[in-house]
Each structure stands twice: as structure tokens, then as C-alpha cells.
């Protein structure tokens, strides 16, 4: 390695220093050529040591990327970035290459690691094209084989490892796959189900702690769960045992000294919310991406006892393979709506859902167990579907609920009108009880506008990757409860004249019972 360092320094400094000590450019060129040849020879003899030295020299990675590499060595689930421009995609591919070389140094050959993007065009643009340029030809090549598919293949003398290049258009296709390490580029473009699916494929013989690394910006359909796990470190019960294995290395565009001034100009002239997310790494900038007036500080409130005279309404979005969401809300005399609790469960049959929801309603201390006056539901509840039961049946979801004393009423399904009503309540007439409504809050924060119809949420109810079940049933309830304060109409002249005439007519003051 000593020869490589000397050669590297000569390569970087020779054009300046040799001008004072050599008479011809030919002599300078010959020395530089020899230095490069020696560097290449040393790299080929020990590529792992070569790349480790290059990492530390800052030639391939900037200091924040080196810090992320060290954090990934110590943790199983490492997230890097959180803003635009710190070299997130580059870090992922170089870390996975280094991981294969490290496995080879430990005698683990023919290993496969996975590099994932949300779709094939993104995979080509952000990774494949860059790998073809950045990775040395003597180390391996991008190709496709019948055994491992499309990927970057290390040569035999370097362990024959493979960086499998994959897209996440259908994560279920990796359910039976195995990877020695995984890296996901722009992970916030994926739902949490994709993360769970990939974790299930994170295994390889001889590796006790296979690594998962990811990088992304704020925003996207995965904004909420990525923030929950890595930024806020708020883990669901099933991940609590692995909490110490999660790490986050925040990196901003200012951490990358190679960004051009024109790129900085483009970042700094974005709309304020986007600029704060992309330049400052502000994960709050995109809260309420569709519901822009949603204010957590104002609308998330401590639970309290609901007065007896307030109207209580239920709402439900039926589900079987997808989650079933039920919400209970109360409306006061001023028309302000308070979301009390959310039931959010999947892979249960209608009977199980109905029993659990009935129990939650009766045991709700904030309402004293009062039943809702109405329960509004999506249309699926009234369709006859055999998949709700092991045996064929004509009972609908609504029939099952009715047998438990829960009467479902068809909701108004106008999506745009419903979202508009919901948005108009924010932030002064819509409140959510803290601690009881996590799925709803997460979906309000994460949901984005649909590209084709900005007045609807992303996917318009047809994208299985968009978690919107709690939002849908909340829309059903609000659309039935929300009333726009009526404006007193100004009567036309003939109407006013008629009222005046009637007021002065004989018997105008008569009322029933006056004789």
C-alpha cells in the first residue's frame, strides 16, 4: 500500500512540482504514467485495501459518507441522507461493493447483495449507468446471467460476488430470495410493507448480521414510516428488540463539496417547503403534503370526556387482506369535529372486526361507552363476497356488523368533495386525540396529491402502495357531519315587498290558539 500512496501523491502533485525540476513535459508524463501503473497494480493485488485507502483519503467518498460507512459497519439498519445532494446513491453502490470485497476477504465467495430502486428506469438512471462508469473494468462488469440475473459481477479472483440490480415494482417477487446485504435507493418512495418484505430476504450462509442500508429525501409515500423509524426512533412493538440496530447519519448538500453553483441555485430557488426539505433536511416541511393546513401542534390534543349532548358518529373502511379501519368522532355544537380513536387491523374476518370494534366502542372511557348515532361505510361493506368466509355465504360485511348491533349506512363516496370538506376544517375545526389515532395521523402527514388530479390523493384509491384506509373512512364521517355555515340570503325586492305586505295585512298577528 505504501507504493500506492506514493504513486497517488505523485499523480496529484507532479504537474506542479516537476515543472521546476524537469526540462520537458515528456519526462513528467513518463513519471506520472509509472505512478498510475503502480497504483493500478497495487489496487489489483488487494482491491479491498485499495478501496479502504481511497475511502479514507476522501477520493471516492466525502467525510459524511465515510461516517455513514462506519455507522453501517456497527448497525444492521443504517439510513443516510435526508436531503438532496450529499451523494446518497453513490454511497449505496460503493458500500455494497466494499461489502462484497470484505466477504471475500473472510472466505465468503459467490455472495449476492441487492441494490434496489423503486422502478426500472430509476435503477438504470441512478445506479446502472453510474456503476458502468465508476467501477473499474478490471474488477468486474455489468451483465445478466441465468443464475443471478442482472447485476455487477466481480471477477473470480475477487470472490465472484454479485451486486444484484433490482427494481421494486413488485416486492413480493423477492419473498423467497436471499441477499447477503441490501441497499435501497430513495426508500421513501416505498411503503413499509416493502421494507418488511426485504428484511425477510436478508440472510446468507456464514453471515450473522447482514446489513440493510438506505438513503432518501423527505417526502413520498414512505415519508411517514421512514421518519418514524430512523428520525423519531418510534418503533412498533415488533421492532423494539432491534431498536439499537437502527442508525441515521444526516447529510445535507453542504456536505458535498463537489456540487456545482448552478445546482445550488436550483435548490435555493425552490418553493419554501421543498427548499427546507431538500436543503435543510427538514422532515416537517412535508407534513400534510395533501392537507397543507394540517397543523400537528394545534390539531393533536389530549383526550377528554365527550359531553353527553355531542353527536357521536362512526366510520369504517372494510378490509380483509388490506387493513380495516374504523373511526369514532364527536361533533360539538359549533360544528368542530374531534377524532376519538382509530381501530386499524388486517387479516381478520368480518366477525372478528365487528367484535373488536364493538368492544372498543363500549369500553371507550371518553364517551362513556355510548354507541354512535350513525356509522358510515364504503360500498364494499354491502357487497356479497365469498372471500370473507371459509365457506360460501350470502352475508355481507354490513350483515355481520348488523348482527352485532352495528348498523352501517352507505357513505357519500364523492372523493374530491370529501377531501375538500376535510381540508376546510383544518386547522381550527378538526382535532385528533393524541395516542389513539396513529394510523390516521401518519396517513394525513404522508399522503400526497395525485399527479393527474391534484384535488385527489395519490393513487385516487387505486394504488395498493398508498396507505389510505383511515383517510377514506375519516372522509366518510366528515362528509356526513361537516356543514358549511350558511350565509343569510338577501331577499329579492319582490320577496321583501311580499313579506312587508303580509305583515300589515288583516290577521297578520294571528297564531294558533288565539281564536
What CA–CA distance (Å, rounded) separates 339 from 216? 32
Per-residue pLDDT reduced to its tens digit, 356-382: 999 999 999 999 999 999 999 988 898
Comparing 27-36, 273-282, 477-486, the range with the smallest average pLDDT is: 27-36
Collapsing DSSP to helix, strand or coil, 67 comes out as helix
Q: What is the per-residue pLDDT across 180-239, written as a single tens digit (0 to 9) for each?
A: 999 999 999 888 889 999 999 999 999 999 999 999 998 877 887 899 899 999 898 899
pLDDT of residue 175: 82
- pLDDT score at 442: 84
The structural domain count of the chain equals 3
Grid coordinates given for 65? 459518507
pLDDT of res. 402:
94
For residue 79, what is the enclosing H or E element? strand 77-81
**Domain identity same for 115 and 33:** no
Lowest mean pLDDT among 44-53, 73-82, 214-223: 44-53
Question: Nearest 10 degrees: CA dihedral of 456, 458, 461, 465?
Answer: -170
pLDDT > 50? residue 512:
no
- The residue count for the chain: 515
Burial tier of 151 (Cβ tally within 10 Å: 0-12, 13-18, 19+): buried
Mean per-residue pLDDT, 237-257: 94
Residues 444 and 422 reside in one and the same domain: yes
CATH number, domain of 265, equals: 3.40.50.300
Kindly state the percentage of the chain with pLDDT values over 90. 55
Domain end (from 252, 280, 308): 280
Query: Read out DSSP for 138-188?
Result: TTEEEEEETTTEEEEEE-GGGT--EEEEEE-SSGGGGTT--BSEEEEETGG
Question: How far apart are the C-alpha atoms of 181 and 115, rounded to whole Å?
Answer: 9
In a domain, 511, yes or no: no
**Is 264 within a domain?**
yes
Same domain, 64 and 161: yes
Examine the pLDDT at 387 and tell me if it is beyond 50. Answer: no
Looking at the fold, whether 359 and 309 belong to one and the same domain comes out as yes
Query: 168-177 — which CB contacts under 8 Å span 24+ positions?
Result: 168/116, 168/117, 168/118, 168/119, 168/194, 169/118, 169/119, 169/120, 171/197, 171/198, 172/197, 174/114, 174/198, 174/201, 175/200, 175/201, 176/201, 177/114, 177/201
> Do residue 420 and residue 453 come from a single domain?
yes
Residues 214 and 124 in one domain: yes
Whether residue 24 has pLDDT greater than 60: no
In terms of domains, do 158 and 93 share one? yes
Same domain, yes or no: 171 and 317: no
pLDDT of 248 above 70: yes
**Statement to judge: residues 161 and 241 lie in one domain:** yes
More confident residue, 304 or 502: 304
Look up the domain containing 35 and give its range.
2-45
Nearest alpha carbon to residue 56 among 17, 26, 98, 88: 98
158 and 247 housed in the same domain: yes
User: Of 112-121, 311-320, 473-482, 504-513, which range is least confident?
Assistant: 504-513
Residues 349, 267 within the same domain: no
User: In the block, which residue shows the cell 476522501?
Assistant: 58
pLDDT over 50 at 494, yes or no: no
Give yes or no for residue 480 having a pLDDT over 60. yes
pLDDT at 488: 45
pLDDT at position 13: 37
Distances 472 to 315, 412, 420, 476, 489 between C-alpha atoms, Å: 9, 11, 13, 6, 34
Q: Could you tell me if residue 108 is inside a domain?
A: yes
Residue 506 lies in a domain: no
Q: What's the pLDDT at 286?
A: 66
User: Residue 513: pLDDT above 50?
Assistant: no
CATH number at residue 451: 3.30.420.280
- Is 242 in the same domain as 384? no
Amino acid at each position: 500500500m505504501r507504493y500506492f500512496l506514493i504513486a497517488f501523491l505523485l499523480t496529484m502533485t507532479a504537474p506542479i512540482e516537476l515543472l521546476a525540476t524537469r526540462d520537458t513535459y515528456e519526462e513528467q508524463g513518463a513519471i506520472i504514467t509509472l505512478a498510475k501503473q503502480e497504483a493500478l497494480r497495487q489496487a489489483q493485488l488487494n482491491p479491498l485495501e485499495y478501496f479502504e485507502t481511497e475511502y479514507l483519503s476522501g477520493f471516492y467518498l466525502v467525510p459524511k459518507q465515510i461516517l455513514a460507512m462506519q455507522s453501517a459497519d456497527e448497525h444492521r439498519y443504517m439510513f443516510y441522507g435526508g436531503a438532496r445532494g450529499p451523494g446518497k446513491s453513490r454511497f449505496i453502490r460503493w458500500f455494497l461493493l466494499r461489502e462484497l470485497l470484505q466477504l471475500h476477504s473472510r472466505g465468503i465467495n459467490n455472495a449476492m447483495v441487492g441494490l434496489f430502486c423503486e422502478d426500472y428506469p430509476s435503477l438504470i438512471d441512478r445506479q446502472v449507468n453510474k456503476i458502468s462508469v465508476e467501477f473499474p473494468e478490471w474488477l468486474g462488469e455489468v451483465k445478466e446471467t441465468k443464475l443471478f440475473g442482472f447485476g455487477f459481477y466481480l471477477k473470480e479472483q475477487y470472490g465472484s460476488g454479485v451486486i444484484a440490480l433490482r427494481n421494486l415494482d413488485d416486492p413480493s417477487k423477492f419473498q423467497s430470495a436471499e441477499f447477503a446485504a441490501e441497499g435501497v435507493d430513495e426508500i421513501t418512495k416505498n411503503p413499509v410493507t416493502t421494507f418488511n418484505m426485504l428484511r425477510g430476504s436478508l440472510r446468507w450462509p456464514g453471515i450473522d448480521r447482514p446489513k440493510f442500508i438506505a438513503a432518501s429525501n423527505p417526502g413520498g409515500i414512505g415519508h411517514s414510516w421512514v421518519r418514524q423509524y430512523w428520525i423519531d426512533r418510534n418503533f412498533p412493538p415488533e421492532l423494539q428488540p432491534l431498536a439499537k440496530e437502527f442508525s441515521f447519519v444526516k447529510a445535507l448538500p453542504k456536505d458535498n463539496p463537489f456540487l456545482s453553483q448552478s445546482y445550488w441555485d436550483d435548490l435555493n430557488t425552490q418553493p419554501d417547503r421543498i427548499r427546507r426539505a431538500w436543503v435543510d433536511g427538514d422532515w416537517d416541511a412535508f407534513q400534510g403534503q395533501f392537507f397543507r393546513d394540517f397543523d400537528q401542534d394545534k390539531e393533536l390534543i389530549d383526550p377528554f370526556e365527550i359531553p353527553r349532548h355531542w353527536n357521536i358518529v362512526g366510520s369504517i373502511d372494510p378490509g380483509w387482506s388490506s387493513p380495516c379501519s374504523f373511526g369514532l368522532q364527536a361533533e360539538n355544537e359549533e360544528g368542530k369535529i374531534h377524532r376519538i380513536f382509530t381501530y386499524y387491523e388486517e387479516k381478520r374476518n368480518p366477525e372478528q372486526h365487528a367484535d373488536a370494534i364493538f368492544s372498543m366502542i363500549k369500553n371507550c372511557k371518553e364517551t362513556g361507552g355510548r354507541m354512535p348515532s350513525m356509522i358510515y361505510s364504503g360500498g364494499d361493506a354491502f357487497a356479497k363476497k365469498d372471500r370473507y368466509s371459509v365457506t360460501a355465504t350470502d352475508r355481507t360485511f354490513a350483515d355481520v356488523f348488523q348482527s352485532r348491533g352495528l348498523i352501517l349506512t352507505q357513505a357519500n363516496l364523492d372523493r374530491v368533495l370529501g377531501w375538500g370538506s376535510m381540508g376546510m376544517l383544518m386547522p381550527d375545526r378538526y382535532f385528533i386525540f393524541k395516542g389513539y389515532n396513529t394510523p390516521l395521523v401518519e396517513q394525513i402527514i404522508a399522503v400526497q396529491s395525485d399527479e393527474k388530479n391534484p384535488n385527489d390523493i395519490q393513487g385516487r384509491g387505486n394504488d395498493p402502495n398508498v396507505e389510505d384506509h383511515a383517510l377514506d373512512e375519516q372522509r366518510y364521517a366528515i362528509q356526513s357531519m361537516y356543514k358549511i355555515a350558511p350565509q343569510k340570503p338577501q331577499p329579492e325586492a319582490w320577496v321583501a315587498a311580499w313579506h312587508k305586505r303580509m305583515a300589515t295585512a288583516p290577521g297578520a298577528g294571528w297564531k294558533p290558539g288565539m281564536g
